[in-house]
Amino acid sequence: MQDFHPSHIRLLVFDLDSLTVNFDQDAWNSFRQFLRVLDDRDFETVLISESIQTSEWSPYANLTVLLSSGEEAFKNNSSLTGADVFWFSEKQELQKNLSKSTRNFAGSNGQTTKYGGLQYQHLYDMLQIFHPSKITAADLSATLLKIKQDSEQVPLMLGIGGPDECGHSFFVGELIDAFEDQEMLVTSLDLSQVLGTEFQKKDQSGAMSPSSLWHSNEIRDWVIKDVLRPYSNGQQVYIENPPEIIQEYEISTFPLFLAPEMILLVWGTTLFLPEFENLIDLRILLELSTKTAAARMFALDDRENFDQSFINTYLQKEGKYYADYLVKYDVQNKIDYRINFENFNAFRIQEKN
């Protein structure tokens, strides 16, 4: 395989007849669950078999059934030979053909590695490889780690923004896990409860006040002056107990300790404001469709066709306020990394246009 990276794969092809020769009922149940996980991760899947009941696979959203042998399907379907396609097969002849065309494939037989494929002990181990969110977090952390290693004693602050209730904590958790896997010291500051569109204020003239989007000036000043600015200037920060003004908010764990050799993740809805301009080193924006943003705001299933009134309500309130913030502070032009955050299990870095 040449230049294989799981983040480039969109379509998974299963040569079913070679993979399921010895399957009993339990094995079939496990395989179906395996496919459900891949479905949840937004992969398209193709099942190829000379004897298969198409109706049995209708519950899967992104699954196609092809009545054919694996060899014939590979030969006759150009859509199954792209660089974003990955095959699973135990047939040596098919693996040979896949190898000659430099296509991505895996199998468990002893010839798989010889032909340039990935050899697995158990098919379901491949779930560790084909996990878009963990792959994205690992790739992003590896890139940022190189930046940090070039200047180990220089603070590195990442800002993570996105719509209200979009699920920042899930992304932050994955990124922290990826950093810790690489033995990096990392901590976070959660501003989602003290900074956002819900605190939008206007003065008597109707203009947005300087403290708009913050819960209070006191909290803003503590975050900027006592935590972020000293850290950004290369100082150690140690705060044993949270000040009274933030005690009801879970902004961070205490004692709070920051040192220049650490990486700090700061996250919240309206994070990219002028007061952070010279503090945040890299900006990450979590991007969602209007439907998904509304679904998460109202705790709905974004894969269901829920009532349009929820989307309309979102667009008239939180969605409008967030869109206004993006425009007012020119957020879109200041972002370093955009994350397609439609699916927690399959978030990916957006390709630059």
Query: Got the DSSP string for 67-127?
Result: ES-HHHHHHH-GGGSSTTEEEE---HHHHHHHHHTT-EEEESSTTTTTTT-EE-SSGGGGG
Q: Is the previous residue joined to 132 through a cis bond, with omega within 30 degrees of 0?
A: no
Residue that has been written with the tokens 């078999």 in this structure: 49
pTM confidence score: 0.87
At a CB cut-off of 8 Å and minimum separation 6, what does 191 contact? 223, 251, 266, 267, 268, 271
pLDDT value at residue 305: 84
CA dihedral for 132, 138, 142, 143, sign (positive or negative): positive
Mean pLDDT over the full length of the chain: 90
Residue 203 pLDDT greater than 60, yes or no: no
> Domains of the chain, with CATH numbers?
6-128 (3.40.50.1000), 132-349 (3.40.50.300)
Give alpha helix (H) positions in the chain: 16-19, 25-40, 70-76, 92-100, 132-150, 168-181, 217-221, 229-232, 290-297, 308-316, 318-328
The amino acid occupying position 329 is: Y
CA 282 to chain centre: 17
SS3 content of the chain, % helix, strand, coil (to 5): 40, 20, 40
Residue 101 pLDDT greater than 90, yes or no: no
pLDDT value at residue 90: 93
Residue 137 pLDDT greater than 70, yes or no: yes
Nearest-angstrom CA–CA distance, 51 and 329: 59
pLDDT value at residue 100: 83
Residue 227 pLDDT greater than 50, yes or no: yes
Residue that has been written with the tokens 């135990």 in this structure: 90
The answer to whether the CB of 296 falls within 8 A of the CB of 265 is no
Residue that has been written with the tokens 């991760």 in this structure: 41
- Model confidence at 352, pLDDT cuts 50, 70, 90, reads low
333 burial level (CB within 10 Å; 0-12, 13-18, 19+): exposed
The neighbour count for residue 155, using CB atoms within 10 Å, is: 22
Quick one: residue 105, left, alpha or beta (phi over 0 = left, psi -120 to 50 = alpha)? beta
pLDDT value at residue 341: 96
Long-range pairs for 291-298: beta carbons < 8 A, 24 or more residues apart:
292/341, 292/342, 293/163, 293/164, 293/166, 293/319, 294/319, 296/163, 296/165, 296/166, 296/167, 297/163, 297/164, 297/165
Q: What is the pLDDT of residues 168-183, one digit of tens each?
A: 999 999 999 999 998 8
Higher-confidence position of 281 and 352:
281
Give the residue from 43, 91, 25, 64 showing the smallest Cα distance to 343. Answer: 43
- Model confidence at 198, pLDDT cuts 50, 70, 90, reads confident
Burial string for 257-282 (b: 16+ CB within 10 Å, else e) reads: ebbbebbbbbbbbbbbbeebeebbbb
- Mean pLDDT check: name the lowest of 32-46, 162-176, 274-288, 293-307: 293-307
In 3-state terms, what secondary structure has residue 261? coil
Residue 148 pLDDT greater than 90, yes or no: no
Nearest-angstrom CA–CA distance, 118 and 259: 42
Residue 205 pLDDT greater than 60, yes or no: no
Residue 206 pLDDT greater than 50, yes or no: no
- Mean pLDDT check: name the lowest of 58-62, 155-159, 292-296: 58-62
At a CB cut-off of 8 Å and minimum separation 6, what does 224 contact? 275, 276, 279
